[in-house]
Structure 1
Amino acid sequence: MNLTYYLQTFDHFLIYLGTSLVLFLIGTFIFKMITPYSERALIKNGNVAVSLKLLGKMAGLVVVLQSAIRSSINLVDLALWAFIAIIVQIILHLVIEYVFTRNTNLAKEVEKGNVAVGLFLGGVSVLVGLIVAASISY
């Protein structure tokens, strides 16, 4: 084991870690901004459905970030893939909310605490994240 090598590359680890955490926070903030209700307040009041939905969105983003970190050529490449993932997840949410379930307002169902809908939406976000992550290749 060459300790010198690890010490020389530790700065790269810190840079990618910091950048990824910032991208994660930006993505989570954007997800929260497009949500028509206060996730913080509903989670504080014990709404499990909202918690599951938000956790799924965050997990989907982390899956993509993980893949982007492994595949990226540089930090700009990492940031581009992160923003692509955010955009894809937003588009998918809108498609599911307004096209596939026209007769059901999923946002209202999650806000009311419908755990099944929250779990479904969170799960779909993870699945989309896996697909986007697998698609990142060179």
Structure 2
Amino acid sequence: MSMSIADYLSGFPAFIAHFVLAIGYLVAYIAIYTAVTRHDELKLIRAGNIAAAIALGGSILGFAQPLASSVEHSLSIVDNALWAMVSLVIQIAVYLLIKLVFPNLNDRISNGEVGPAIIFAALSIAAGQIAAAAMST
């Protein structure tokens, strides 16, 4: 049985819907995350602050992993939106918990200290990976 181009493209509207939703959540996450932190990551990154780039990059990856899992395992666009919101809340909570352990994290990242930025990025990515795995059960 051969498949026509129309058969292959039948899933395209769902792809677009899930993709646009995920990109929207990613943009929202970055906006919320950068509002929650006390420093302007994008300004710091533009000024060459590598620590800010590492921290923001790790946080984005930590959010993107469960977001991708949400897209992959969702039963509908509404299901995807709900799990994406859960992912967003989890990643912001991870940031707040890490700040309890490293209360001067923002200052150290603003000052360009790479060590705290790397551990923050690693913990963000680890939490995202765990959240992504938990969504697939």
TM-score by length of 1: 0.91
User: 2:69–2:136: 8 Å Cα contact kept in structure 1?
Assistant: no
Q: Identify unmatched segments of 5+ residues in structure 2.
A: none
Instruction: Please list, as runs of the form range in 1=range in 2, the aligned pairs for 1:77-88 lying within 5 A after superposition.
Output: 77-88=79-90
* CA distance in structure 1 between the aligned counterparts of 2:18 and 2:88, rounded to whole angstroms: 18
Give the aligned partner of residue 21 of structure 2.
Answer: 19
Which ranges in structure 1 are unaligned for 5 or more consecutive residues? none
Would you say 1:39 and 2:38 are equivalent positions?
A: no
TM-score relative to the length of structure 2: 0.92
Deviation at 1:137, TM superposition (A): 3.3
Q: Which amino acid in the other structure matches residue 65 of structure 1? A: L
User: 2 CA distance for matches of 1:91 and 1:15?
Assistant: 27
Partner of 1:122 in structure 2? 121
Equivalence for 1:63: 65
- 1:114 Cα deviation (Å)? 0.4
Distance 1:132 1:88 in 2: 8
- Which letter maps to 1:10? F
- CA deviations 1:17-73 (Å, max 9, x no partner) are 111111111111111110101111111110000001001111111111110011101
Deviation at 1:125, TM superposition (A): 0.8
Deviation at 1:4, TM superposition (A): 2.6
Range with bigger deviation, 2-11 or 46-55: 2-11
Of 46, 50, 53, the residue aligned with 2:52 is 50
Matching residue of 1:29: 31
Rounded Cα–Cα distance in structure 2 between residues aligned with 1:94 and 1:69: 25
Which of 97, 100, 110 aligns to 2:99? It is: 97
Q: Tell me, what secondary structure is at the counterpart of 2:10?
A: helix
- Aligned partner letter, 2:121: G
Question: Following the alignment from structure 1 to structure 2, what is the Cα–Cα distance between the partners of residues 11 and 83?
Answer: 22
What number of residue pairs does the alignment pair up?
135
Contact 2:51 2:112 in 1 (8 A): yes
